[in-house]
Amino acid sequence: MSIVPDRLRIIGGSKFEHNTYTGFEIQPQLRAVWTPAKNQNVWGSVSRSVRTPTRNEHDNFLTFMTMPSGPPPAPPLVMAFVGNPHAHAEHLIAYELGYRYQYQDTFSFDAAAYYNSYTDLLYPDMVNTITSFNPDPPYILVAFPFTNQSRAQTHGLEVSTKWRPMRRWLLSPSVTEVRGTGNSMWATPTHEFTVQSQLDLPQHFEFNSALYHANAVHVLGMTAISVPTLNRVDLGTSWRAVPGLSVGVWGRNLQSERHVEVGGAFLSTGEVRRSVGVKITWEFDPEKKGTK
């Protein structure tokens, strides 16, 4: 909806869904865009989204520890995460405010601030456990049910620019800062930046490079996990042999033979190795074929 022609627009919409776990869900969004000048935009948005429980959170049974409950013949003690068929969806209210500036084709600047409010977060209830005895085979079960027990928030700022110091060279640096409360910051770096470079060379060659940085992550959950500061370097070159056909070679994680990243259902760590890949792309004319 155009409130002020060529100056102020408001866009609204909603997503409606029905699922077997939580029933009917509504996810609306409202966005406003103000254009004070032809090369500047200011925008803001408010949206609501949901995350329905997974199969594991709804009705699964996952044993994570077995230990003796006492000297023999005492039955073993089994600890398990159990699903909750009465669990509700998690809810998010997101607020965003952004600004964009474009100077001809040589420079652009983008900034966006956001605040996310999470409610009804699903986590195993480590206090209100359910204890029962199974006679055959004999064991004592201590169940930790998933419940909608947590609230959290995240807020941050993202800044990015694109600059052409010369006609054939494009630099794209960006910085992301994020902070939060509760479990929302598990395994999330608070500071990240990237610098990407794209250089067009003669004879239809292109040379690309990228530097990625993320600060160290320390997680204290079921186990203490520490992921060191990451500085990742990627390099690649491609050749447009004929119109529509390009051949490229990329080297990823070139800074070291391997580096540690967080992953897995229980925040275990894994290593990503240095790699080299070849990419061949063939494009049909999109105006004539409408496909790739």
- Give the chain as a DSSP string: -EEETTTEEEEEEEEEEEETTTEEEEEEEEEEEEEEETTEEEEEEEEEEEEPPPHHHHH-EEEEEEEESSSTTSPEEEEEEE--TTPPPEEEEEEEEEEEEEETTTEEEEEEEEEEEEEEEEEE-SSS-EEEEEETTEEEEEEEEEEEEEEEEEEEEEEEEEEEEETTEEEEEEEEEEEE-GGGGTT--SEEEEEEEEEEETTTEEEEEEEEEE--EEEESSSEEEE--EEEEEEEEEEEEETTEEEEEEEESTTSSEEEEEETTTTEEEEEE-EEEEEEEE---TTTT---
Give the total number of structural domains in the chain. Answer: 1
pLDDT at position 265: 46
Query: Is 42 part of a structural domain of the chain?
Result: no
Query: Is 290 part of a structural domain of the chain?
Result: yes
Query: Is 104 part of a structural domain of the chain?
Result: no
pLDDT at position 224: 59
Query: Is 237 part of a structural domain of the chain?
Result: yes
pTM of the model: 0.79
Query: Is 266 part of a structural domain of the chain?
Result: yes
Query: Is 134 part of a structural domain of the chain?
Result: no
Domain residue limits at 222: 186-292
Going from the first residue of the chain to its last (292 residues), give the mean pLDDT of each consecutive group of 10, the final group possibly shorter: 84 93 93 93 96 89 85 88 91 97 93 96 87 88 90 95 94 96 81 95 93 83 69 93 88 87 58 89 66 44
Query: Is 11 part of a structural domain of the chain?
Result: no
pLDDT at position 46: 97
Query: Is 140 part of a structural domain of the chain?
Result: no
